[in-house]
Structure 1
Amino acid sequence: MQIFSTFEHSSFLEVSIALIEKEGVKKENIFAIPLDNRVEQRKVFDTMNRSDGTTLIDIGMALATAFAVIGASVGFILAWGPIYWGLIGAFIGFMIGFAIRLFTELVIKKRKRVLKGQHSELILIIECEDSLSSVIEKILWDHFALGVAKIKQENNNV
């Protein structure tokens, strides 16, 4: 049986490997693979095929509505009238809101734009007997594995 698990690189990983070796699994049957983490910068603008769930127009739409109302109200006493001044106010409000949101995403949240939650840094592959699988799985879960999967191998002698 093969057991796959993912871990953050920590002392819990070392402890779990030591306990698995104490259960009778040889070192040759334990394989640890470090993962390369993302090094490229995350994109601010979404594409049609990829979206990170962050919108840049939410503040812009709210400010566009507010500035359109103010522009239309003031437009009754100005030369171009309420419709033109409402549209001008909406455009100005949208641009101010968009600029605010873009500034917060590019400058303030730049450090926070990494993957949220825990990151898998290592894959641990253990080959063991079927009788040890539940014990090893419990050891992995008790030592904060991020995920565990078991694959039962079939012996096909052809």
Structure 2
Amino acid sequence: MKIKHVTKIIAIFLFSLHICCSKEKDQNKPKDIPIEKYKKEILMNGNIDAYKQLTLYYLNSPFHNETLPYSILMADKYNNGDACHEIFVQIIGLKQAPGTQHYDLSIFNKLNKGEKEYVLFYLKKGAKLKDIGCIVALRDLGISDK
């Protein structure tokens, strides 16, 4: 029950953040990539290829965490293991210094109890879905995927 509540809070926060910053973001994005098409495909159909394209587009962008609501949707509604791992990466990334390229696993210990429960929920779900990223992250954290 707590996980669903935390999920809703994060989704609302990110949606609000998205609306507040959308004008500035639009000015910085290349116009030739059909990002809105990818977003629509994810929302309407759970399109895995569109999700992968969206995460690739934002990978080296200062707006990397814009994909978090789409990752939550893909993990919850479409049981996508890669999205479960991406949630973990993005939550860890929120706690890292801006511009950091790779997530630092030690940041997990700096998360509060609710954040730890939240990311562990998705890592364990992803491990059950046989996502290698989730399995490796759990192993590296010394946590059983059961």
- TM interval, shorter chain, is under 0.3
Q: Which has the higher contact order (CA 8 A, sep 6+)?
A: 1
- Structure with more helix by fraction: 2
Q: Normalized against structure 2, the TM-score is what?
A: 0.24
Larger strand percent: 1
